[in-house]
Chain A
Amino acid sequence: DQQVKQNSPSLSVQEGRISILNCDYTNSMFDYFLWYKKYPAEGPTFLISISSIKDKNEDGRFTVFLNKSAKHLSLHIVPSQPGDSAVYFCAARGGNAGNMLTFGGGTRLMVKP
């Protein structure tokens, strides 16, 4: 049973527009959420995170929104650039897993020039 789900396996966006990547979770005990970005043939790199006590965190072009009541988080990229084309994973920490991270299945973002 996947506790963290990314329901869109892929997303295609025009350069300059907004990219919105979504992530849903089922465990209300998760207290910290992260987004990782992965290029082919490279390991994932940390992008941005948010604590469950906040509902928004911003870092440059990247903003993560957390809706605890809906158990939903989203990553907004504005404006999208071709270099943003990658697989994005959301991850959650806490609950029964303690310090462990539970990852979603990933969303492949393609930003077209």
Chain B
Amino acid sequence: DVKVTQSSRYLVKRTGEKVFLECVQDMDHENMFWYRQDPGLGLRLIYFSYDVKMKEKGDIPEGYSVSREKKERFSLILESASTNQTSMYLCASNPGTGVRFFGPGTRLTVT
């Protein structure tokens, strides 16, 4: 069974704070992804990574950065959190094409 874990289920941060969201997968997948889910907008891709130290921008990268120092770990960083970054954040991985395996999500509230 593929397992994708995220460090926190719920987070509350203040505007301007630096926020780290961690994701770990245990299936040696090359690809890892960060999405955010907002009502009516579905899942939107923030960043993805094909390999260690590789990163590519997704559809909405502004205000975010990522780090992939190890194959199993992909971190999402909010450099200076803002209220419009309040959302559900979902990490996913896959070994090639198609099906992504998702983590349980982190609901981030920025006040």
Bound Cα distance A41, B104 (Å): 7
Mask, B77-111, CB within 8 Å of A = 1, is 00000000000001010000111111111010000
A30 contacts chain B at the CB level, 8 A cutoff: no
Known interface pairs A93-B97, A99-B97; A45-B43 also in contact (CB < 8 Å): no
Question: Do A43 and B102 touch across chains, with their CB atoms under 8 A apart?
Answer: yes
CB within 8 Å of B: which A35-55 residues: 36, 41-46, 49
Question: Do B43 and A103 touch across chains, with their CB atoms under 8 A apart?
Answer: yes
Known interface pairs A89-B43, A103-B43, A104-B42; A42-B97 also in contact (CB < 8 Å): no
Return the chain A residue nearest B41 by Cβ. A105
Mask, B35-72, CB within 8 Å of A = 1, is 10000111111001000000000100000000000000
B32 contacts chain A at the CB level, 8 A cutoff: no
Bound Cα distance A101, B102 (Å): 13
Bound Cα distance A101, B59 (Å): 11
By a CB distance below 8 angstroms, the chain A residues around B24 are none
| In-complex Cβ contact of A105 among B40, B92, B98, B105 (8 A) | B40
Q: How many residues of B contact A (CB 8 A)?
A: 23
Bound Cα distance A5, B35 (Å): 18
Return the chain A residue nearest B40 by Cβ. A105
By a CB distance below 8 angstroms, the chain A residues around B100 are 46, 101
By a CB distance below 8 angstroms, the chain A residues around B99 are 34, 46, 49
* With A4-B42, A34-B98 already in contact, 7 other A-B pairs whose C-beta atoms are closer than 8 Å: A9-B40, A32-B98, A41-B9, A44-B90, A45-B102, A46-B101, A91-B43
27 contacts between A and B (CB under 8 A): A4-B42, A6-B42, A9-B40, A41-B9, A41-B104, A41-B105, A41-B107, A42-B104, A42-B105, A43-B4, A43-B90, A43-B92, A43-B102, A43-B103, A44-B102, A45-B102, A46-B100, A49-B98, A89-B43, A93-B97, A93-B98, A100-B45, A101-B45, A103-B35, A105-B40, A105-B41, A106-B42
